[in-house]
Structure 1
């Protein structure tokens, strides 16, 4: 299982070419010439959510470096709806010429087709370019909560099954899955309460309408001393957040959250996919860009087309096993 990392791996050129080769899913017999002349006109970078969220923040940070590296304008547009499903289903019907690229999120692109008959796409329909960022889950309570530690929280949940409410952003999202994984790993039962987004979930916690939130690492900086973090779902402490305990350090093997990347239509030539992947890999090595990610409490990820596809398949198996054991499938 891939685990959230806390340091940026520096990729040698040869390693990146190996990671980006054989992006999979056809490519229409494209040659190196397809990448050599690409791009020749502006690129539309589609965000599958409203402006202002973490996907949008990431795209905005990437916009200028992408324009400089590719030598063309990169515009950002928004196609919200269905938790991203509207845009991702549309991507599968878009011309695969490299001029429409789209942000994609895990576990969303796995769970939507798994749990909804009307998702409009299958996970494998989206041709992966790169997974470049992640935001680990955190379990947070109000600063004045009676739960001072994760052990306190787990003990209370065991004593009163289902009585503790955990809020989060959306159904079958990273927050929802994180709550299910915590329940499974700790042998407890909590009640998950979905909200339309983090913006709605946070007031519910601070107002005492839910006992805890399963949310993302950026909330640590944004909410400051209003919350107490009981656990971060990373394998190792995150740089800058070392004062907050991980679940792993407390004996709970919970390492999960949201992963963000870029996908393209399924018929996009492999040569173009590789060029985009190499470009993003180079941006991810820029110290100024890395620092911007760090300021947002984002984790830099470096998964080219092949590794991103394999990682998605691995996570699909994890979620399918979990949901089957919980009787949700």
Structure 2
């Protein structure tokens, strides 16, 4: 009798341990959750990936993002869906990105130095540390633009008019103290003239205003006007050397003005807290994508300057641009 009772208790204990083990296994099965495991070196997304673009459809950033997304599934395994969240000089989209779940399913573009300016100007609830850098996508040089039929055929023409008519010259920009506003202000400061700044919601609207004759000049990046190059004239480039695509256009330095590179970088980031294995997956995938021959052909056709940088170098770039935007007091006259 005692022996039967002992065997019964032993059997019950064994069954309990077996059930507990089965239950634990079910709870940790990675196939039942989208949450990435920090120990899974082979992590890959199981669903579509959202890519937040903080500017409207048709903007320079949106155009470059869509070229990238068109080739993404080949290397990521799932489609990358662009979500435009424009407004607030980009801060609306970047706020949403900073607050997204760090699960590998929401990525986004941040535009340097626009992104940095929203922080230094107090427009943001996020900081540089609110994001996990993945890679840089493109780096683009700024240029001075006028309408194709403008009275200004050279930068010297524009500067002379501005000096003879203080404050009359009007420039459209992509937002207060955003990248293209910085470019216009750097030109005015180094050339010694006054102008009237008219901020628009983004680069697409800024350049539409230029093409419609609402303003006299703009500063933008090459990819921003790739689809309507015949409607504008390029008067100068913000670089130490002339651009390959515009060999007849002088640099600002050649003309005696600002002699350093100025432009924009567009980086791909994830919300802070995204596991390292997920960042590594995307870092590798985007590097392969940006070396793809078909992608590179499409990028060239779109006027994009692909400039892959890994996660560490992108983090350093974001920090450097934050320091740059916080050092512009003299340019703004603060």
Deviations 1:250-286 (A, max 9, x none): 3431422222121101101122212211211121122
Which position in structure 1 is the counterpart of 2:40?
Answer: 34
Q: Are residue 96 (structure 1) and residue 72 (structure 2) matched?
A: no
Which position in structure 1 is the counterpart of 2:253?
Answer: 248
Which position in structure 2 is the counterpart of 1:150?
Answer: 155
Which position in structure 2 is the counterpart of 1:295?
Answer: 301
Q: Structure 1 residues 251 and 65 mapped into 2: Cα distance closer, same or farther (>3 Å)?
A: same
- Aligned-residue CA RMSD (Å): 2.5
Q: CA deviation at 1:31?
A: 8.7
Q: 2:60 aligns with which of 54, 78, 82?
A: 54
Q: Structure 1 residues 148 and 263 mapped into 2: Cα distance closer, same or farther (>3 Å)?
A: same
Q: 1:320 aligns with which of 322, 326, 329?
A: 326
Aligned counterparts of 2:212 and 2:78: Cα–Cα separation in 1:
47
- Kindly report which structure 2 residues correspond to 1:66-77, keeping only aligned pairs within 5 A, or say none: 66-77=72-83
Q: Which has the higher contact order (CA 8 A, sep 6+)?
A: 1
Q: Are residue 87 (structure 1) and residue 66 (structure 2) matched?
A: no
Normalising by structure 1, what TM-score? 0.81
Q: Is the 8 A contact 1:135 1:298 kept in 2?
A: yes
Q: CA deviation at 1:69?
A: 0.9
Q: Is the 8 A contact 1:88 1:126 kept in 2?
A: no
Aligned counterparts of 1:251 and 1:103: Cα–Cα separation in 2:
34
Normalising by structure 2, what TM-score? 0.79
Q: Is the 8 A contact 2:89 2:201 kept in 1?
A: no
- The structure with more helix, counted as a fraction of residues: 2
Structure 2, unpaired ranges of 5+: 1-35
Structure 1, unpaired ranges of 5+: 1-29
Q: Is the 8 A contact 1:140 1:213 kept in 2?
A: yes
Which position in structure 2 is the counterpart of 1:180?
Answer: 185
Q: Structure 1 residues 204 and 238 mapped into 2: Cα distance closer, same or farther (>3 Å)?
A: same
Structure showing greater Rg: 2
